[in-house]
Amino acid sequence: MSDAARSTPPSLAGFTVAITAARRAEEFGALLTRRGARVSAAPAIEMIPLSDDPALRAGTEAVIASPPDLLIPTTGIGFRGWIEAADEWGLADDLMAAFAGARIISRGPKVTGALRAAGLREEWSPESESSAEVLAHLRPEDVEGRRVAVQLHGAIDDWDPNRDFVDGLAAMGAEVVSVPVYSWQRPADLDAFDALIADVAACRIDAVTFTSGPAAVSMMTRARELGEQDRLLTALQGPVAVYCVGPVTAAPLEIAGVTTSWPERMRLGALARLVAEDLPERDPELLVAGHRLGLRAAAAVVDGEVCEVSGSSLRLLKALAEPRSSGQVGAVVSRAELLSVIGSDDEHAVEVAIGRLRASLVHREMIATVVKRGYRLAVDDR
């Protein structure tokens, strides 16, 4: 490694990124930690074992009893799980026989791989991997009265991204058989999940990541139960960045009015790279007294080094860095305003708090005293 590479700070230094994944959370966390992030992880869902899922068994039996004219699997892992569950029930041969006479549309390359591993061949697959493109492809065809089996990823009650797809097929006159694979339930450790929701709602997290639509739904529904839904959505619609592994995962959030980002390739590695590239761009550094200052949800970063800053000191620093009415960063902030930030009515408390903040930042000149007026961030070229 070159000296330049060694001196380059990790791109996510000081950022706190939430992980809601139930699967591969450690792997994803390692990808983010390697880039300098602090990771806060709590699974948003737990999957119900497929062989114990009555809805999946009922859907399987319905497909076997009346084979479909058209089969549309939507996820590779879901389709493989369906076949494996059918095998446990002793129904795999009957299910494959039911597929034998069906036309098959694959929603993407992972689905195609699962189909071919099962000895099936798709007739078409959308380039965008989107359900909307599948609907557009089928619209010119006559599917009225045709029986269409759709393997869906997850069972979702609210903010359901599958609903538009299923409703679109039904609107064309198709007889739709929905087969939900990967039904989910709340995580066993609700305390950890509730704590994560509280941190996101309070904007103590810089970014939250989702790798499945049900995880997003679980967070929003649990927040509603906790009376935190409005605060959570306000955070997700504003200061907290939201990253999803793909558009299907993002759909419930988009329905709720949350803007999301996802990588071109729906892979964990691609998602980690997107977070590392995009998140720092959302929070540009300030030049203060010749030093680079980055403000994060729960940290301050000076010249690429994460500073140990207390919660009250960080609130002071953010107040000093907040643009004033002129839109200018680095304007004077009065002692009275800073007193309200630290929750005190003793003017001496402001001096003590500023002293602690200066010590935390190491470079004391970053906070300038304006005699008889207050303090300001010593922003270069104000």
Give me the chain's average pLDDT, please. 91
382 band by pLDDT with thresholds 50, 70 and 90: low
pLDDT (mean) for 147-175: 83
Q: Does residue 81 sit within a domain?
A: yes
pLDDT (mean) for 186-200: 95
92 and 141 belong to one structural domain? yes
> Rounded distance, CA 286 to CA 302, Å?
10
214 band by pLDDT with thresholds 50, 70 and 90: confident
Q: Which of 237, 257, 282 is the last residue of a domain?
A: 282
Residue 7: predicted pLDDT:
45
Higher model confidence: residue 2 or residue 139? Answer: 139
Q: Does residue 1 sit within a domain?
A: no
Q: Which token pair is 24?
A: 């591969």
Digit-coded pLDDT (tens) for 322-337: 987 667 788 999 999 9
271 and 174 belong to one structural domain? no
> Rounded distance, CA 150 to CA 161, Å?
14
189 band by pLDDT with thresholds 50, 70 and 90: confident
Domain CATH code at residue 109: 3.40.50.10090
Digit-coded pLDDT (tens) for 17-59: 999 998 889 999 999 999 999 999 999 999 888 999 998 999 9
> 142: which residues sit within 8 A by CB, 6+ positions away?
none
> Rounded distance, CA 213 to CA 246, Å?
9
Contacts 24+ apart (CB under 8 A), 323-327: none
Q: Does residue 382 sit within a domain?
A: no
- Answer yes or no: are the C-beta atoms of 213 and 249 closer than 8 Å: yes
Residue 30: predicted pLDDT:
96
> Rounded distance, CA 326 to CA 129, Å?
46
